[in-house]
Amino acid sequence: MKNGYALPIQNLIRELGRLPGIGEKTAARLAMFLLRCPEEDALRLAESVVEVKRRIRLCTACFHLAEGDLCEICQNPSRDRGIVCVVEDPDSLLAIEESGTYRGLYHVLHGVLAPLDGIGPEDLKIRELLERVDQGTVQEIILATNPTVQGEATALLIMKMLGDRGVRVTRIAQGMPVGGDLKYTDRMTLAKSIECRRCM
């Protein structure tokens, strides 16, 4: 911690520095900004943080972020309840929602398999996904984990666990982005593009 700051400022810098992507210099800049801003602005920020911690929880159905027992998506009667898209985190869910094309439900795993980091199947919401499938209303599971080593391993494990449950399991397509140029595309993306080709 830098010397020269009063103890309350040092404490604020330390706490801001615990946020992801915030180093000590950025934390110090943020602390100075908060020190200079009007007190009511700082209080609004503090109240917003406390309100989120007190009022936001995980949806009891899909484990997305919710203010009540169910998130807005699970409460929406127009969603197709026979299709469940499995994603790694709430950010992935929001990205799919922003596409405006998917009308089913979701299941948020809150991570991926990462044995080196001590994250196994029991640390994810996989058991809860299996319980949803066993209720008999789900006809298709779309595995929408990221195309990383951990994401692929997680998708493969879920696919194996769903194998004898009589539900259709699909994987999101991978390959060339719309507007991409073949000559600038990496080998792995090109390989996936060929592997995941479809009829025209």
- CB burial string 159-173: b at 16+ within 10 A, e below: eebbeeeebebebbe
Walk me through the domains of the chain, giving residue ranges and CATH numbers: 7-55 (1.10.8.420), 79-195 (3.40.1360.10)
- pLDDT tens per residue across span 158-187: 999 998 899 999 999 888 778 877 778 888
- The DSSP output letter for 85 is E
199: pLDDT strictly greater than 80: no
Q: Return d(Cα 166, Cα 150) in angstroms, integer.
A: 25
CA-based nearest residue to 144, from 136, 134, 152, 133:
152
**pLDDT attached to residue 177:** 79
pLDDT of residue 3: 62
Q: Give the residue among 148, 196, 140 at the shortest CA–CA distance from 170.
A: 140
Pairing of strands 57-58, 65-66: antiparallel
